[in-house]
Structure 1
Amino acid sequence: MHLQCPRCRSPLHLHQASNGSYCDNKHHFDPEPEGYLDLIPGKKNPKDSDSRSLMRAKRNFLEQGHMQPLVEAMATLLAPLGERELVHLGCGEGYYCRALAERLPGWRFGGVDLAKNAIFAASKAQPDASFIIADPARAPLQSGKADLLLVNDLKVKTEQLCDWLAPGGYLLYLQPGPRHQWQLRVSLNPVSMEHPLSWPTLTGFSQIAQQRSQFSLNLDQSLRGFVLETSRLGWRADAEQRHLFTQQGPDELEQDLLLSLWQKPLIS
Protein backbone atom coordinates (compact mmCIF):
# COMPACT_ATOMS: atom_id res chain seq x y z
CA MET A 1 0.00 0.00 0.00
CA HIS A 2 1.45 3.38 -1.03
CA LEU A 3 0.86 5.67 1.94
CA GLN A 4 1.44 9.32 2.72
CA CYS A 5 2.26 10.99 6.02
CA PRO A 6 -0.90 12.11 7.86
CA ARG A 7 0.98 15.13 9.21
CA CYS A 8 2.66 16.61 6.13
CA ARG A 9 1.28 14.53 3.21
CA SER A 10 4.75 13.49 2.06
CA PRO A 11 5.17 9.89 0.81
CA LEU A 12 5.88 7.33 3.53
CA HIS A 13 8.83 4.96 3.20
CA LEU A 14 9.43 1.62 4.87
CA HIS A 15 11.92 1.72 7.74
CA GLN A 16 13.69 -1.62 7.46
CA ALA A 17 14.97 -1.80 11.04
CA SER A 18 11.64 -1.17 12.78
CA ASN A 19 9.29 -2.22 9.96
CA GLY A 20 7.61 1.13 10.55
CA SER A 21 7.12 4.04 8.17
CA TYR A 22 8.68 7.47 7.90
CA CYS A 23 8.56 10.48 5.60
CA ASP A 24 11.29 12.82 4.37
CA ASN A 25 10.24 15.34 7.03
CA LYS A 26 11.26 12.79 9.70
CA HIS A 27 7.78 11.89 10.92
CA HIS A 28 8.00 8.26 12.03
CA PHE A 29 5.22 5.74 12.67
CA ASP A 30 6.01 2.49 14.44
CA PRO A 31 3.83 -0.57 13.80
CA GLU A 32 1.75 -2.00 16.60
CA PRO A 33 2.75 -5.52 17.82
CA GLU A 34 0.05 -7.02 15.54
CA GLY A 35 1.60 -5.30 12.52
CA TYR A 36 -0.90 -2.55 11.70
CA LEU A 37 -0.09 1.16 11.45
CA ASP A 38 -1.96 3.86 13.34
CA LEU A 39 -2.06 6.91 11.06
CA ILE A 40 -4.45 9.00 13.14
CA PRO A 41 -2.21 10.98 15.46
CA GLY A 42 -3.64 11.71 18.91
CA LYS A 43 -6.53 10.26 20.89
CA LYS A 44 -9.27 8.16 19.29
CA ASN A 45 -12.99 8.82 19.44
CA PRO A 46 -14.63 5.85 21.27
CA LYS A 47 -17.60 6.18 18.89
CA ASP A 48 -15.36 5.04 16.03
CA SER A 49 -15.20 1.51 17.46
CA ASP A 50 -17.88 -1.10 18.02
CA SER A 51 -18.36 -2.60 21.44
CA ARG A 52 -16.48 -5.83 21.98
CA SER A 53 -19.71 -7.85 21.97
CA LEU A 54 -20.99 -6.26 18.74
CA MET A 55 -17.68 -6.76 16.95
CA ARG A 56 -17.62 -10.39 18.08
CA ALA A 57 -21.19 -10.82 16.80
CA LYS A 58 -20.27 -9.30 13.42
CA ARG A 59 -17.28 -11.57 13.07
CA ASN A 60 -19.24 -14.70 14.01
CA PHE A 61 -21.95 -13.75 11.51
CA LEU A 62 -19.48 -13.32 8.67
CA GLU A 63 -17.35 -16.34 9.51
CA GLN A 64 -20.45 -18.55 9.43
CA GLY A 65 -20.61 -17.88 5.68
CA HIS A 66 -23.82 -15.87 5.50
CA MET A 67 -22.25 -13.48 2.97
CA GLN A 68 -20.42 -16.12 0.96
CA PRO A 69 -22.55 -15.57 -2.21
CA LEU A 70 -21.40 -11.95 -2.22
CA VAL A 71 -17.75 -12.99 -1.82
CA GLU A 72 -18.10 -15.41 -4.74
CA ALA A 73 -19.61 -12.66 -6.90
CA MET A 74 -16.75 -10.29 -6.05
CA ALA A 75 -14.12 -12.95 -6.77
CA THR A 76 -15.76 -13.72 -10.13
CA LEU A 77 -15.46 -10.09 -11.18
CA LEU A 78 -11.91 -9.66 -9.91
CA ALA A 79 -10.22 -12.91 -10.99
CA PRO A 80 -9.86 -11.94 -14.70
CA LEU A 81 -7.80 -8.87 -13.69
CA GLY A 82 -4.80 -10.99 -12.67
CA GLU A 83 -2.78 -10.68 -9.48
CA ARG A 84 -3.16 -7.23 -7.86
CA GLU A 85 -3.14 -5.38 -4.56
CA LEU A 86 -6.65 -4.72 -3.28
CA VAL A 87 -7.25 -2.04 -0.64
CA HIS A 88 -10.62 -2.20 1.11
CA LEU A 89 -11.76 1.23 2.30
CA GLY A 90 -13.92 0.66 5.39
CA CYS A 91 -12.65 -2.88 5.88
CA GLY A 92 -13.98 -3.42 9.43
CA GLU A 93 -12.39 -6.52 10.91
CA GLY A 94 -11.11 -7.65 7.52
CA TYR A 95 -13.47 -10.48 6.62
CA TYR A 96 -13.70 -9.64 2.92
CA CYS A 97 -9.92 -9.35 2.61
CA ARG A 98 -9.52 -12.80 4.17
CA ALA A 99 -12.32 -14.38 2.13
CA LEU A 100 -11.04 -12.95 -1.14
CA ALA A 101 -7.47 -14.02 -0.32
CA GLU A 102 -8.70 -17.63 -0.24
CA ARG A 103 -10.16 -17.25 -3.74
CA LEU A 104 -7.52 -15.04 -5.36
CA PRO A 105 -4.10 -16.66 -4.76
CA GLY A 106 -1.12 -14.40 -5.30
CA TRP A 107 -3.07 -11.22 -4.60
CA ARG A 108 -2.04 -8.73 -1.89
CA PHE A 109 -4.56 -7.17 0.47
CA GLY A 110 -4.86 -4.13 2.67
CA GLY A 111 -7.58 -2.32 4.55
CA VAL A 112 -8.36 1.05 6.09
CA ASP A 113 -10.79 1.69 8.94
CA LEU A 114 -11.31 4.13 11.80
CA ALA A 115 -12.04 1.47 14.42
CA LYS A 116 -8.90 0.45 16.29
CA ASN A 117 -10.42 -2.76 17.65
CA ALA A 118 -11.52 -3.80 14.14
CA ILE A 119 -8.08 -3.16 12.62
CA PHE A 120 -6.49 -5.02 15.56
CA ALA A 121 -8.68 -8.06 14.79
CA ALA A 122 -8.09 -7.83 11.03
CA SER A 123 -4.32 -7.66 11.36
CA LYS A 124 -4.19 -10.50 13.87
CA ALA A 125 -6.30 -12.75 11.61
CA GLN A 126 -4.40 -11.90 8.40
CA PRO A 127 -0.81 -10.97 9.30
CA ASP A 128 0.39 -10.99 5.68
CA ALA A 129 -2.01 -8.13 4.80
CA SER A 130 -1.54 -4.41 5.50
CA PHE A 131 -4.11 -2.75 7.74
CA ILE A 132 -4.20 0.94 8.65
CA ILE A 133 -6.12 2.95 11.24
CA ALA A 134 -7.32 5.99 9.29
CA ASP A 135 -10.51 7.61 8.04
CA PRO A 136 -11.45 5.68 4.85
CA ALA A 137 -13.00 8.82 3.35
CA ARG A 138 -9.69 10.64 3.79
CA ALA A 139 -7.34 7.68 3.60
CA PRO A 140 -3.60 8.51 3.66
CA LEU A 141 -3.06 7.04 0.19
CA GLN A 142 -0.59 8.54 -2.23
CA SER A 143 -2.11 10.14 -5.29
CA GLY A 144 -2.06 7.99 -8.42
CA LYS A 145 -0.62 4.85 -6.81
CA ALA A 146 -3.48 2.53 -5.77
CA ASP A 147 -3.94 -0.61 -7.89
CA LEU A 148 -7.48 -1.62 -6.93
CA LEU A 149 -9.92 -0.15 -4.40
CA LEU A 150 -12.93 -1.90 -2.88
CA VAL A 151 -15.60 0.50 -1.67
CA ASN A 152 -18.89 -0.64 -0.12
CA ASP A 153 -21.39 2.22 -0.17
CA LEU A 154 -18.85 4.55 1.38
CA LYS A 155 -19.39 8.28 1.11
CA VAL A 156 -16.20 9.09 -0.74
CA LYS A 157 -16.19 11.57 -3.60
CA THR A 158 -15.62 10.00 -6.99
CA GLU A 159 -12.90 12.56 -7.67
CA GLN A 160 -11.02 11.37 -4.58
CA LEU A 161 -11.21 7.71 -5.61
CA CYS A 162 -9.99 8.61 -9.08
CA ASP A 163 -7.11 10.61 -7.61
CA TRP A 164 -5.94 7.70 -5.43
CA LEU A 165 -5.96 5.19 -8.29
CA ALA A 166 -3.04 4.71 -10.65
CA PRO A 167 -3.74 5.13 -14.38
CA GLY A 168 -5.43 1.91 -15.45
CA GLY A 169 -6.32 1.07 -11.81
CA TYR A 170 -9.64 -0.49 -10.84
CA LEU A 171 -12.51 0.32 -8.51
CA LEU A 172 -14.97 -2.32 -7.28
CA TYR A 173 -18.01 -0.46 -6.00
CA LEU A 174 -20.65 -2.20 -3.89
CA GLN A 175 -24.06 -0.71 -3.06
CA PRO A 176 -27.49 -1.96 -1.90
CA GLY A 177 -30.01 -2.93 -4.55
CA PRO A 178 -33.75 -2.17 -4.42
CA ARG A 179 -34.63 -5.41 -2.58
CA HIS A 180 -31.85 -5.26 0.00
CA GLN A 181 -33.16 -6.26 3.46
CA TRP A 182 -36.68 -5.92 2.12
CA GLN A 183 -38.40 -7.83 4.92
CA LEU A 184 -36.83 -5.53 7.50
CA ARG A 185 -37.87 -2.48 5.50
CA VAL A 186 -41.53 -3.44 5.28
CA SER A 187 -41.61 -4.57 8.91
CA LEU A 188 -40.62 -1.06 9.95
CA ASN A 189 -42.65 0.71 7.27
CA PRO A 190 -45.50 -1.40 5.80
CA VAL A 191 -46.15 1.11 3.00
CA SER A 192 -42.60 0.91 1.66
CA MET A 193 -42.34 0.85 -2.13
CA GLU A 194 -39.60 -0.85 -4.10
CA HIS A 195 -37.39 1.57 -6.00
CA PRO A 196 -36.44 0.84 -9.63
CA LEU A 197 -33.11 -0.84 -10.23
CA SER A 198 -30.51 1.90 -10.70
CA TRP A 199 -26.84 1.28 -11.44
CA PRO A 200 -24.31 3.99 -10.51
CA THR A 201 -22.63 6.31 -12.98
CA LEU A 202 -19.12 7.26 -11.91
CA THR A 203 -17.63 10.25 -13.71
CA GLY A 204 -14.03 9.77 -14.74
CA PHE A 205 -14.20 5.97 -14.90
CA SER A 206 -14.92 3.41 -17.61
CA GLN A 207 -17.28 0.60 -16.61
CA ILE A 208 -15.81 -2.86 -17.04
CA ALA A 209 -18.54 -5.13 -15.62
CA GLN A 210 -21.54 -5.23 -13.32
CA GLN A 211 -23.25 -8.01 -11.40
CA ARG A 212 -26.28 -8.22 -9.11
CA SER A 213 -25.90 -10.56 -6.13
CA GLN A 214 -29.23 -11.68 -4.63
CA PHE A 215 -29.65 -14.30 -1.92
CA SER A 216 -31.50 -14.82 1.35
CA LEU A 217 -30.46 -15.29 4.96
CA ASN A 218 -32.29 -17.72 7.21
CA LEU A 219 -33.16 -15.86 10.39
CA ASP A 220 -33.78 -16.92 13.96
CA GLN A 221 -34.45 -14.63 16.90
CA SER A 222 -30.77 -14.09 17.55
CA LEU A 223 -29.99 -13.15 13.94
CA ARG A 224 -33.00 -10.83 13.76
CA GLY A 225 -31.60 -8.97 16.75
CA PHE A 226 -28.18 -8.83 15.08
CA VAL A 227 -29.68 -7.43 11.88
CA LEU A 228 -31.36 -4.65 13.84
CA GLU A 229 -28.07 -3.74 15.50
CA THR A 230 -26.07 -3.59 12.29
CA SER A 231 -28.52 -2.31 9.66
CA ARG A 232 -29.00 1.38 8.97
CA LEU A 233 -32.71 0.64 8.72
CA GLY A 234 -32.70 -0.87 12.21
CA TRP A 235 -31.06 2.17 13.72
CA ARG A 236 -34.22 4.18 12.99
CA ALA A 237 -36.60 1.68 14.62
CA ASP A 238 -38.33 2.52 17.87
CA ALA A 239 -38.47 0.17 20.87
CA GLU A 240 -41.79 -1.41 19.89
CA GLN A 241 -40.71 -2.03 16.31
CA ARG A 242 -37.46 -3.58 17.48
CA HIS A 243 -39.28 -5.90 19.88
CA LEU A 244 -41.80 -7.06 17.25
CA PHE A 245 -39.17 -7.68 14.61
CA THR A 246 -36.90 -9.61 16.97
CA GLN A 247 -39.67 -11.75 18.47
CA GLN A 248 -42.06 -12.21 15.54
CA GLY A 249 -40.12 -11.09 12.48
CA PRO A 250 -39.57 -12.96 9.19
CA ASP A 251 -37.70 -16.24 8.84
CA GLU A 252 -35.81 -14.97 5.78
CA LEU A 253 -34.13 -11.70 4.84
CA GLU A 254 -33.32 -10.81 1.25
CA GLN A 255 -29.86 -9.53 0.40
CA ASP A 256 -29.61 -7.52 -2.81
CA LEU A 257 -26.19 -6.06 -3.66
CA LEU A 258 -25.05 -4.33 -6.84
CA LEU A 259 -21.41 -4.79 -7.79
CA SER A 260 -19.87 -2.64 -10.50
CA LEU A 261 -16.25 -2.76 -11.68
CA TRP A 262 -14.66 0.39 -13.06
CA GLN A 263 -11.30 1.35 -14.52
CA LYS A 264 -9.46 4.66 -14.43
CA PRO A 265 -8.31 5.64 -17.93
CA LEU A 266 -4.63 5.17 -18.72
CA ILE A 267 -4.53 8.73 -20.01
CA SER A 268 -6.52 11.47 -18.24
Structure 2
Amino acid sequence: MHLQCPRCRKPLHVHQPSRGVYCDNKHHFDPAPEGYLDLIPGDKNPKNSDSRALMRAKRRFLEQGHQLPLVEAITALLAPLGAHELIHLGCGEGYYCRTLAARLPGWQFAGIDIAKNTIFAANKAQPDGQFVIADPVRAPLLPGQAQVLLVNDLNIKTELLVSWLAPGGYLLYLQPGPRQQWQLRTALNPVSMEHPLSWPTLTGLHHLSQQRCQFTIALDQELRGFVVETSRFGWRASAEQRHAFIQQGPDELEQDLLLTLWQKSS
Protein backbone atom coordinates (compact mmCIF):
# COMPACT_ATOMS: atom_id res chain seq x y z
CA MET A 1 0.00 0.00 0.00
CA HIS A 2 1.53 3.31 -1.11
CA LEU A 3 0.80 5.97 1.52
CA GLN A 4 1.16 9.73 1.81
CA CYS A 5 1.80 11.82 4.90
CA PRO A 6 -1.45 12.86 6.61
CA ARG A 7 0.16 16.18 7.57
CA CYS A 8 1.72 17.39 4.31
CA ARG A 9 0.64 14.83 1.67
CA LYS A 10 4.22 13.98 0.71
CA PRO A 11 4.96 10.29 -0.07
CA LEU A 12 5.75 8.15 2.95
CA HIS A 13 8.87 6.01 2.98
CA VAL A 14 9.53 2.98 5.16
CA HIS A 15 12.18 3.43 7.85
CA GLN A 16 13.66 -0.07 7.87
CA PRO A 17 15.16 -0.12 11.40
CA SER A 18 11.90 0.92 13.10
CA ARG A 19 9.43 -0.26 10.43
CA GLY A 20 7.82 3.14 10.81
CA VAL A 21 7.23 5.59 7.97
CA TYR A 22 8.43 9.12 7.29
CA CYS A 23 8.10 11.80 4.63
CA ASP A 24 10.62 14.21 3.12
CA ASN A 25 9.37 16.90 5.51
CA LYS A 26 10.54 14.71 8.41
CA HIS A 27 7.11 13.77 9.72
CA HIS A 28 7.60 10.34 11.26
CA PHE A 29 5.01 7.76 12.29
CA ASP A 30 6.09 4.80 14.40
CA PRO A 31 4.23 1.49 14.18
CA ALA A 32 2.29 0.17 17.16
CA PRO A 33 4.00 -2.74 18.95
CA GLU A 34 1.60 -5.05 17.10
CA GLY A 35 2.79 -3.70 13.72
CA TYR A 36 -0.06 -1.55 12.39
CA LEU A 37 0.30 2.15 11.54
CA ASP A 38 -1.68 5.01 13.05
CA LEU A 39 -1.98 7.85 10.53
CA ILE A 40 -4.48 10.02 12.37
CA PRO A 41 -2.45 12.80 14.03
CA GLY A 42 -3.58 13.91 17.47
CA ASP A 43 -6.05 12.42 19.91
CA LYS A 44 -8.68 9.92 18.77
CA ASN A 45 -12.40 10.37 19.16
CA PRO A 46 -13.65 7.49 21.34
CA LYS A 47 -16.87 7.48 19.33
CA ASN A 48 -14.87 6.16 16.38
CA SER A 49 -14.40 2.78 18.08
CA ASP A 50 -16.91 0.03 18.78
CA SER A 51 -17.32 -1.23 22.31
CA ARG A 52 -15.52 -4.48 23.05
CA ALA A 53 -18.85 -6.30 23.34
CA LEU A 54 -20.09 -5.00 20.00
CA MET A 55 -16.83 -5.80 18.24
CA ARG A 56 -16.87 -9.34 19.63
CA ALA A 57 -20.48 -9.71 18.46
CA LYS A 58 -19.56 -8.54 14.95
CA ARG A 59 -16.59 -10.89 14.86
CA ARG A 60 -18.70 -13.83 16.02
CA PHE A 61 -21.41 -13.05 13.44
CA LEU A 62 -18.94 -12.92 10.57
CA GLU A 63 -16.90 -15.95 11.64
CA GLN A 64 -20.10 -18.01 11.78
CA GLY A 65 -20.23 -17.66 7.98
CA HIS A 66 -23.40 -15.61 7.59
CA GLN A 67 -21.77 -13.45 4.89
CA LEU A 68 -20.02 -16.21 2.94
CA PRO A 69 -22.34 -15.89 -0.09
CA LEU A 70 -21.13 -12.31 -0.42
CA VAL A 71 -17.50 -13.40 -0.07
CA GLU A 72 -17.97 -15.96 -2.84
CA ALA A 73 -19.58 -13.36 -5.10
CA ILE A 74 -16.67 -10.97 -4.53
CA THR A 75 -14.19 -13.78 -5.22
CA ALA A 76 -15.91 -14.64 -8.51
CA LEU A 77 -15.55 -11.03 -9.69
CA LEU A 78 -11.93 -10.59 -8.60
CA ALA A 79 -10.34 -13.96 -9.42
CA PRO A 80 -10.26 -13.40 -13.22
CA LEU A 81 -8.27 -10.17 -12.75
CA GLY A 82 -5.09 -11.99 -11.67
CA ALA A 83 -3.16 -11.39 -8.46
CA HIS A 84 -3.12 -7.79 -7.21
CA GLU A 85 -3.00 -5.85 -3.96
CA LEU A 86 -6.50 -5.16 -2.64
CA ILE A 87 -7.10 -2.25 -0.26
CA HIS A 88 -10.36 -2.44 1.69
CA LEU A 89 -11.53 1.05 2.65
CA GLY A 90 -13.56 0.68 5.84
CA CYS A 91 -12.14 -2.78 6.55
CA GLY A 92 -13.41 -3.09 10.13
CA GLU A 93 -11.75 -6.02 11.87
CA GLY A 94 -10.49 -7.42 8.56
CA TYR A 95 -12.93 -10.28 7.94
CA TYR A 96 -13.18 -9.72 4.19
CA CYS A 97 -9.40 -9.38 3.78
CA ARG A 98 -8.90 -12.69 5.63
CA THR A 99 -11.56 -14.66 3.83
CA LEU A 100 -10.59 -13.33 0.41
CA ALA A 101 -6.91 -14.14 1.11
CA ALA A 102 -7.91 -17.80 1.53
CA ARG A 103 -9.63 -17.73 -1.87
CA LEU A 104 -7.30 -15.54 -3.93
CA PRO A 105 -3.79 -17.02 -3.79
CA GLY A 106 -1.01 -14.62 -4.67
CA TRP A 107 -3.02 -11.52 -3.76
CA GLN A 108 -1.89 -9.05 -1.10
CA PHE A 109 -4.34 -7.40 1.29
CA ALA A 110 -4.45 -4.09 3.12
CA GLY A 111 -7.14 -2.26 5.04
CA ILE A 112 -7.94 1.20 6.33
CA ASP A 113 -10.37 1.98 9.14
CA ILE A 114 -10.84 4.84 11.58
CA ALA A 115 -11.40 2.61 14.64
CA LYS A 116 -8.23 1.64 16.49
CA ASN A 117 -9.66 -1.50 18.08
CA THR A 118 -10.82 -2.93 14.75
CA ILE A 119 -7.42 -2.33 13.12
CA PHE A 120 -5.77 -3.95 16.13
CA ALA A 121 -7.99 -7.02 15.65
CA ALA A 122 -7.45 -7.11 11.87
CA ASN A 123 -3.67 -6.94 12.21
CA LYS A 124 -3.62 -9.62 14.91
CA ALA A 125 -5.71 -12.01 12.81
CA GLN A 126 -3.80 -11.36 9.57
CA PRO A 127 -0.23 -10.27 10.37
CA ASP A 128 0.84 -10.61 6.74
CA GLY A 129 -1.67 -7.90 5.77
CA GLN A 130 -1.10 -4.16 6.08
CA PHE A 131 -3.61 -2.31 8.24
CA VAL A 132 -3.70 1.40 8.93
CA ILE A 133 -5.74 3.61 11.25
CA ALA A 134 -7.06 6.46 9.09
CA ASP A 135 -10.32 7.92 7.90
CA PRO A 136 -11.32 5.89 4.78
CA VAL A 137 -13.19 8.89 3.40
CA ARG A 138 -9.90 10.83 3.34
CA ALA A 139 -7.55 7.89 3.10
CA PRO A 140 -3.81 8.74 3.07
CA LEU A 141 -3.30 6.88 -0.21
CA LEU A 142 -0.73 8.11 -2.67
CA PRO A 143 -2.53 9.08 -5.90
CA GLY A 144 -2.24 6.77 -8.89
CA GLN A 145 -0.94 3.70 -7.02
CA ALA A 146 -3.85 1.52 -5.82
CA GLN A 147 -4.32 -1.67 -7.82
CA VAL A 148 -7.73 -2.74 -6.43
CA LEU A 149 -10.01 -0.82 -4.08
CA LEU A 150 -12.89 -2.50 -2.24
CA VAL A 151 -15.44 0.02 -1.00
CA ASN A 152 -18.67 -0.87 0.76
CA ASP A 153 -21.24 1.91 0.76
CA LEU A 154 -18.96 4.69 1.99
CA ASN A 155 -19.56 8.30 1.14
CA ILE A 156 -16.26 8.78 -0.68
CA LYS A 157 -16.09 11.26 -3.54
CA THR A 158 -15.74 9.60 -6.93
CA GLU A 159 -12.90 11.96 -7.86
CA LEU A 160 -10.89 10.67 -4.90
CA LEU A 161 -11.48 7.03 -5.78
CA VAL A 162 -10.40 7.66 -9.36
CA SER A 163 -7.33 9.61 -8.23
CA TRP A 164 -6.17 6.82 -5.88
CA LEU A 165 -6.36 4.12 -8.55
CA ALA A 166 -3.35 3.27 -10.68
CA PRO A 167 -3.86 3.31 -14.46
CA GLY A 168 -5.73 0.09 -15.22
CA GLY A 169 -6.67 -0.30 -11.54
CA TYR A 170 -10.01 -1.68 -10.37
CA LEU A 171 -12.75 -0.49 -8.04
CA LEU A 172 -15.23 -2.99 -6.57
CA TYR A 173 -18.13 -1.06 -5.07
CA LEU A 174 -20.71 -2.66 -2.77
CA GLN A 175 -24.04 -1.07 -1.90
CA PRO A 176 -27.34 -2.28 -0.43
CA GLY A 177 -30.01 -3.44 -2.86
CA PRO A 178 -33.75 -2.73 -2.64
CA ARG A 179 -34.49 -5.67 -0.31
CA GLN A 180 -31.51 -5.39 2.03
CA GLN A 181 -32.69 -6.38 5.54
CA TRP A 182 -36.28 -6.24 4.28
CA GLN A 183 -37.84 -8.07 7.24
CA LEU A 184 -36.23 -5.63 9.67
CA ARG A 185 -37.37 -2.63 7.66
CA THR A 186 -41.00 -3.78 7.44
CA ALA A 187 -41.07 -4.80 11.12
CA LEU A 188 -39.99 -1.30 12.11
CA ASN A 189 -42.06 0.47 9.45
CA PRO A 190 -44.96 -1.63 8.08
CA VAL A 191 -45.60 0.85 5.25
CA SER A 192 -42.06 0.52 3.87
CA MET A 193 -41.95 0.46 0.08
CA GLU A 194 -39.40 -1.38 -2.03
CA HIS A 195 -37.37 1.05 -4.10
CA PRO A 196 -36.59 0.29 -7.75
CA LEU A 197 -33.31 -1.44 -8.47
CA SER A 198 -30.71 1.22 -9.23
CA TRP A 199 -27.08 0.61 -10.17
CA PRO A 200 -24.45 3.30 -9.52
CA THR A 201 -22.88 5.41 -12.24
CA LEU A 202 -19.33 6.64 -11.64
CA THR A 203 -17.66 9.10 -13.97
CA GLY A 204 -14.02 8.59 -14.87
CA LEU A 205 -14.18 4.78 -14.69
CA HIS A 206 -15.04 2.06 -17.21
CA HIS A 207 -17.87 -0.23 -16.12
CA LEU A 208 -16.86 -3.92 -16.36
CA SER A 209 -19.55 -5.98 -14.64
CA GLN A 210 -22.24 -6.04 -12.01
CA GLN A 211 -23.85 -8.68 -9.85
CA ARG A 212 -26.77 -8.76 -7.45
CA CYS A 213 -26.05 -10.99 -4.45
CA GLN A 214 -29.18 -12.12 -2.59
CA PHE A 215 -29.36 -14.65 0.24
CA THR A 216 -31.07 -15.14 3.59
CA ILE A 217 -29.73 -15.42 7.13
CA ALA A 218 -31.49 -17.66 9.65
CA LEU A 219 -32.28 -15.65 12.79
CA ASP A 220 -32.67 -16.53 16.43
CA GLN A 221 -33.24 -14.10 19.27
CA GLU A 222 -29.52 -13.45 19.74
CA LEU A 223 -29.00 -12.66 16.06
CA ARG A 224 -32.08 -10.43 15.94
CA GLY A 225 -30.54 -8.44 18.79
CA PHE A 226 -27.27 -8.18 16.87
CA VAL A 227 -29.03 -7.05 13.69
CA VAL A 228 -30.94 -4.31 15.50
CA GLU A 229 -27.76 -3.15 17.23
CA THR A 230 -25.70 -2.90 14.04
CA SER A 231 -28.21 -1.90 11.36
CA ARG A 232 -28.81 1.73 10.44
CA PHE A 233 -32.51 0.84 10.30
CA GLY A 234 -32.37 -0.33 13.91
CA TRP A 235 -30.64 2.88 15.02
CA ARG A 236 -33.73 4.87 14.01
CA ALA A 237 -36.18 2.61 15.84
CA SER A 238 -37.78 3.27 19.20
CA ALA A 239 -36.95 1.13 22.22
CA GLU A 240 -40.37 -0.55 21.94
CA GLN A 241 -39.83 -1.42 18.27
CA ARG A 242 -36.38 -2.81 18.94
CA HIS A 243 -37.66 -4.94 21.83
CA ALA A 244 -40.55 -6.32 19.75
CA PHE A 245 -38.26 -7.25 16.87
CA ILE A 246 -35.79 -9.03 19.14
CA GLN A 247 -38.47 -10.97 21.02
CA GLN A 248 -40.98 -11.74 18.27
CA GLY A 249 -39.24 -10.91 15.01
CA PRO A 250 -38.83 -13.04 11.86
CA ASP A 251 -36.87 -16.27 11.58
CA GLU A 252 -34.90 -15.08 8.56
CA LEU A 253 -33.48 -11.89 7.13
CA GLU A 254 -32.91 -11.07 3.47
CA GLN A 255 -29.52 -9.79 2.37
CA ASP A 256 -29.47 -7.91 -0.91
CA LEU A 257 -26.13 -6.47 -2.06
CA LEU A 258 -25.19 -4.88 -5.38
CA LEU A 259 -21.60 -5.44 -6.57
CA THR A 260 -20.20 -3.27 -9.36
CA LEU A 261 -16.72 -3.63 -10.84
CA TRP A 262 -15.05 -0.65 -12.52
CA GLN A 263 -11.67 -0.08 -14.15
CA LYS A 264 -9.60 3.04 -14.62
CA SER A 265 -8.26 3.68 -18.09
CA SER A 266 -4.63 2.73 -18.63
TM-score range, shorter chain: over 0.9
SS in 1 for 2:102: helix
Displacement of 1:38 in angstroms is 0.2
Taking the aligned partners of 2:153 and 2:243, their CA distance within structure 1 comes to 28
Taking the aligned partners of 1:103 and 1:208, their CA distance within structure 2 comes to 21
Displacement of 1:27 in angstroms is 1.0
2:141 corresponds to 1:157: no
Whichever residue aligns with residue 224 of structure 1, its letter is R
Aligned residue-pair number:
266
For residues 25-73 of structure 1, give each alpha carbon's deviation from its aligned partner in whole angstroms, at most 9, with x where no partner exists: 1111111111110000111000000000000000000001000000000
For residues 191-249 of structure 1, give each alpha carbon's deviation from its aligned partner in whole angstroms, at most 9, with x where no partner exists: 11111111111111111111111000000000000000100000000011001000000
CA-based RMSD? 0.5
Gaps of 5+ in 2: none
For residues 89-130 of structure 1, give each alpha carbon's deviation from its aligned partner in whole angstroms, at most 9, with x where no partner exists: 000000000010000011000000000000000000000000
Whichever residue aligns with residue 237 of structure 1, its letter is A
**Structure-1 residue corresponding to 2:64:** 64
Correspondence list, 1:61-210, <5 A: 61-210=61-210
Taking the aligned partners of 2:237 and 2:169, their CA distance within structure 1 comes to 40
Taking the aligned partners of 2:133 and 2:167, their CA distance within structure 1 comes to 26
Whichever residue aligns with residue 93 of structure 1, its letter is E
Taking the aligned partners of 1:229 and 1:158, their CA distance within structure 2 comes to 30
SS in 2 for 1:262: strand
Normalising by the residue count of structure 2, what TM-score does the alignment of the two structures yield? 0.99
Whichever residue aligns with residue 4 of structure 2, its letter is Q
Taking the aligned partners of 2:176 and 2:117, their CA distance within structure 1 comes to 26
Whichever residue aligns with residue 125 of structure 2, its letter is A
**Structure-2 residue corresponding to 1:233:** 233
Taking the aligned partners of 1:207 and 1:39, their CA distance within structure 2 comes to 32
For residues 160-203 of structure 1, give each alpha carbon's deviation from its aligned partner in whole angstroms, at most 9, with x where no partner exists: 10001111100000000001000000001101111111111111
Larger deviation, residues 16-25 vs 218-227: 16-25
Q: Percent identity?
A: 77
Superposed structure 1 runs of 4+ greater than 3 Å apart: none
Displacement of 1:139 in angstroms is 0.4
Taking the aligned partners of 1:255 and 1:19, their CA distance within structure 2 comes to 41
Normalising by the residue count of structure 1, what TM-score does the alignment of the two structures yield? 0.99
Taking the aligned partners of 2:214 and 2:44, their CA distance within structure 1 comes to 37
Taking the aligned partners of 1:34 and 1:183, their CA distance within structure 2 comes to 41
Gaps of 5+ in 1: none
Correspondence list, 1:205-216, <5 A: 205-216=205-216
Whichever residue aligns with residue 256 of structure 1, its letter is D
Taking the aligned partners of 1:255 and 1:189, their CA distance within structure 2 comes to 18
Taking the aligned partners of 1:105 and 1:232, their CA distance within structure 2 comes to 34
SS in 1 for 2:18: coil
Taking the aligned partners of 2:240 and 2:19, their CA distance within structure 1 comes to 52
**Structure-2 residue corresponding to 1:31:** 31
Displacement of 1:19 in angstroms is 1.0
